[in-house]
């Protein structure tokens, strides 16, 4: 893989998060908000269903930068986030840099 970084270079990564992964992340992060884990609670939320943790979705950028842009071994030092839309469990999401 070419590790040269230049203006206009881009890469993407797609993932469909499973309920199992969301539960594992909830345990690892200690974020057990019922909007992620409790189907009945989530139905009454503004999302109307369980959604993936925003930080779990954002973690895709670690893989994207560490493996693809610019290539293996890349380490990034910061990230600014805005959560603009929910990601329902089982729906594919794509991160693009």
Cα dihedral 68, 70, 76, 78 sign:
negative
**Cβ atoms of residues 74 and 65 within 8 Å:** yes
**CATH number belonging to domain 12-96:** 3.10.129.10
Q: Domain residues of the chain, as ranges?
A: 12-96
For the stretch 6-65, pLDDT in tens is 888 888 999 999 999 999 999 999 999 999 999 999 999 999 999 999 999 999 998 888
**Coil, strand or helix: which one is 91?**
coil
**Cβ atoms of residues 72 and 66 within 8 Å:** yes
CA of 46: how far to CAs of 35, 51, 77, 85, 95, in Å? 9, 11, 33, 11, 24
Rounded to two decimals, the pTM is 0.87
């Amino acid at each position: 893989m070419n590790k040269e970084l230049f203006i206009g270079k881009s890469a993407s990564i797609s993932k469909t998060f499973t309920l199992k992964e969301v539960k594992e992340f909830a345990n690892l992060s200690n974020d057990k908000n019922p909007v992620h884990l409790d189907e009945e609670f989530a139905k009454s939320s503004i999302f109307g269903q369980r959604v993936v943790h925003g930080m779990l979705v954002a973690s895709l950028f670690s893989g994207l930068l560490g493996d693809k842009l610019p290539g293996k071994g890349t380490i990034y030092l910061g990230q600014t986030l805005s959560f603009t839309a929910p990601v329902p469990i089982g729906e594919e999401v794509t991160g693009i840099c």
